[in-house]
């Protein structure tokens, strides 16, 4: 055995430096980190180093040069895959991968053109360090002898790695106090502790979450219950039960954002029918309404609407907690004589819907097998909206009444491609093909909704129904801010603008009501459940819900986003900056602090209910705790 010869470790040194530099370059070019000062940039530069030193340093324990080199190449490849996986995910979701997302493999086969639109030929450059390492190994002199490294040398190496980690954490904590308590703010975590350390932290959080159910007991609900009861909104007397016994048709309008409503694109009206509903005497149009989804996107919106709880910050509840006990809107309506269903022309297992719908107490799921998809009627995720609506109304005509059905549209989905015969308007002209096509698919969906209303009237279902339609989540992510600024005629899109762009439309259309109006108070998807149940005369005072009736005089205009941002009638909190909503300019953070604290509390309460499966300890009829059914 020989003592260490550092010339034999040039491959290790190169791997460390190459991975470090590549990671920082990717941070600066592929992610929008929002660097505000020199200290944040310094933290961003050093945060990959501690993990890179540690993971590659394991090779120092290997005596065989061949084994060491294989380990270094394998590690380099693995880190490149992790980094590129986050880049590809970020392009679509504007977010970073979490461990629960990696278990959603049953969705991958259905991604189709969405995945194809994300991957580019030049992505090979994300693996350039691996390629260079292979080239170096090919031409460098072969080392065959074994050697050992002195313990004090290895110790000094890993002490350096740990020292850099603590320096990183110390500086990050100075920049953002209580950083590690904000596990829902992944961009903040990656910006401060790095992609690789973030994934280690994510594994820790997931392990902690998995243990919560096993260790949970009903006492954890007492504090949550007290908070919910103290913040309830009393239903408006003249609205409570006003439409008792009506059918409820809830339509999830895929990727529809409010910026297209009552707006034009190159002189062409984008949503003529939906525009008309904003002025309709039978429609309540909520003009300052927001989606509150996270990584679960459409499935999150379903969860929020059904349960008046937030989705999780780290994955989709539909996957991670599909067999929990819930007190869904479907269950409450079923208890009050309603036939409940969901209509969605996609594979029943997509987003684990076939399983979680059972937990929601839904009577029937009309999946893709319930529809006949004719020639030219398919879209990349299932079935085009016009034939979907048409066949769905035929199903409704056969349902026992009263019924509650949720419909999930598909055509207006990323990457927003249409067949030529379905294009009612031309594309927009910007540097983003995604935004350019978006207006066309929105216009198609608008036409589909108009024909849907006509079908309901022809089948005699229209007059005795409440038709609720809402945008499920954003369609245009912050990755297209340059194009959005062009369309909105702004110099640029700020964090304030991005928060405002999370607004999606909400329509509550009640035929014959004759008292429709535009309501401009801030509201969110979490408020839909109590609003609908109260219109039908169903009491929710004992329900474990965080939303409030939109028609209640007690309803507060305060909307929490899943990532910790929020909107009130006067303030917007985004990217850790408090904005005056009237001017769009930054204001004293003290104005936002009470709402920041409440946002954290409500998100944590919602997470604890889901992670601990706490509703198994709760009797929704009495509002009392019960012992778990063994």
List active site positions: 298
> Looking at the DSSP assignment, which residues form a beta bridge with residue 407?
251, 343
- State how far the Cα of 513 lies from the Cα of 399, in Å rounded to an integer: 24
- State how far the Cα of 592 lies from the Cα of 564, in Å rounded to an integer: 12
Tokens 């987003």 belong to which residue? Answer: 351
| DSSP letters for 16-60 | HHHHHHHHHHHHHHHS-----SHHHHHHHHHTTHHHHHHHHHGGG
> Looking at the DSSP assignment, which residues form a beta bridge with residue 465?
247
- State how far the Cα of 138 lies from the Cα of 154, in Å rounded to an integer: 27
Tokens 């093909």 belong to which residue? Answer: 433
> Around 554, how many Cα atoms within 13 Å sit in the side-chain half-sphere?
13
Inter-residue contact 370 to 395 (CB < 8 Å): yes
Start-to-end Cα distance in the chain: 62
Inter-residue contact 247 to 402 (CB < 8 Å): yes
Q: How many CB atoms lie within 10 A of CB 317?
A: 28
Tokens 């036409």 belong to which residue? Answer: 447
469-488 as b/e, with b when 16 or more CB fall inside 10 Å? bbbbbbbbbebbbebbbbbe
Burial label, 181 (beta-carbon count in 10 A; 0-12, 13-18, 19+): exposed
Per DSSP, helices labelled H in 216-325 are 220-230, 272-277, 298-307, 317-320
Q: Are strands 577-580 and 571-574 parallel, antiparallel or unpaired?
A: antiparallel
| DSSP letters for 283-305 | EEEETTEE----TTTHHHHHHHH
CB-based contacts of 453, cutoff 8 Å, min separation 6: 273, 462, 467
Percent helix, percent strand, percent coil in the chain, to nearest 5: 50, 10, 40
Closest CA to 531 of 516, 552, 511: 552
């Amino acid at each position: 055995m020989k003592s260490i010869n550092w010339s034999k470790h040039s491959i290790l040194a190169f791997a460390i430096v190459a991975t470090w530099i590549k990671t920082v370059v990717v941070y600066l070019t592929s992610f929008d980190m929002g660097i505000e000062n020199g200290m944040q940039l310094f933290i961003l530069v050093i945060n990959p180093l501690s993990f890179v030193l540690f993971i590659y340093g394991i090779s120092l324990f290997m005596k065989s040069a061949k084994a060491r080199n294989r380990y270094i190449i394998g590690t380099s490849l693995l880190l490149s895959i992790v980094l590129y996986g986050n880049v590809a995910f970020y392009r679509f979701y504007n977010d970073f991968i979490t461990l629960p997302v990696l278990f959603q493999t049953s969705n991958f086969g259905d991604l189709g053109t969405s995945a194809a639109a994300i991957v580019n030929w030049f992505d090979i450059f994300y693996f350039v360090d691996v390629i260079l390492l292979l080239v170096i190994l090919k031409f460098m002199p072969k080392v065959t002898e074994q050697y050992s490294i002195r313990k004090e040398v290895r110790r000094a190496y890993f002490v350096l790695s740990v020292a850099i980690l603590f320096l990183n954490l110390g500086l990050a904590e100075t920049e953002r106090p209580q950083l590690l308590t904000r596990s829902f703010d992944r961009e903040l975590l990656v910006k401060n502790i790095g992609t690789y350390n973030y994934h280690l932290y994510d594994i820790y959080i997931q392990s902690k979450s998995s243990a919560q159910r096993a260790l949970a007991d009903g006492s954890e609900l007492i504090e949550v219950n007290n908070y919910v009861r103290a913040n309830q909104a009393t239903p408006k007397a003249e609205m409570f039960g006003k439409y008792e016994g009506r059918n409820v048709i809830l339509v999830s309008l895929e990727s529809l954002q409010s910026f297209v409503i009552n707006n034009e694109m190159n002189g062409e009206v984008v949503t003529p029918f939906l525009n008309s509903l904003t002025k309709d005497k039978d429609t309540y149009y909520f003009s300052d309404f927001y989606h509150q989804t996270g990584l679960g996107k459409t499935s999150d919106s379903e969860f929020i609407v059904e349960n008046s709880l937030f989705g999780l910050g780290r994955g989709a509840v539909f996957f991670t907690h599909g067999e929990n006990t819930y007190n869904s809107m479907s269950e409450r309506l079923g208890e009050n004589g309603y036939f409940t269903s969901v209509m969605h022309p996609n594979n029943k297992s997509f987003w684990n819907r076939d399983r979680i719908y059972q937990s929601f107490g839904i009577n029937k799921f009309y999946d893709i097998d319930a529809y006949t998809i004719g020639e030219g009627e398919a879209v990349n995720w299932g079935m085009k909206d016009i034939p979907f609506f048409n066949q769905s109304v035929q199903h409704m005509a056969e349902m026992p009444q009263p019924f509650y059905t949720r419909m999930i549209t598909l055509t207006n989905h990323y990457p927003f491609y249409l067949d030529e015969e379905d294009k009612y308007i031309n594309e927009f002209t910007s540097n983003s093909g995604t935004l350019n096509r978006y207006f066309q698919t929105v216009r198609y969906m608008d036409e589909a909704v108009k024909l849907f209303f006509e079908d309901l009237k022809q089948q005699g279902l229209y007059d005795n129904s409440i038709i609720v339609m809402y945008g499920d989540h954003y369609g245009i992510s912050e990755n297209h801010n340059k194009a959005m600024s062009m369309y909105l005629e702004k110099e640029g899109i700020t964090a304030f603008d991005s928060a405002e762009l999370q607004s999606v439309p909400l329509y509550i259309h009640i035929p014959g009501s004759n008292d429709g109006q535009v309501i401009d108070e801030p509201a969110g998807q979490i408020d839909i459940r109590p609003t609908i149940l109260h219109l039908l005369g169903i009491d929710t005072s004992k329900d474990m819900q965080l939303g409030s009736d939109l028609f209640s005089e007690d309803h507060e205009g305060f909307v929490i986003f899943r990532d910790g941002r929020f909107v009130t009638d006067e303030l917007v909190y985004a990217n850790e900056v408090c904005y005056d909503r009237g001017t769009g300019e930054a204001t004293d953070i003290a104005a936002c602090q009470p709402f920041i604290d409440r946002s954290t509390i409500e998100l944590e309460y919602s997470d604890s209910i889901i992670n601990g499966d706490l509703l198994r300890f709760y009797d929704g009829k009495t509002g009392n705790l019960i012992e778990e059914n063994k």
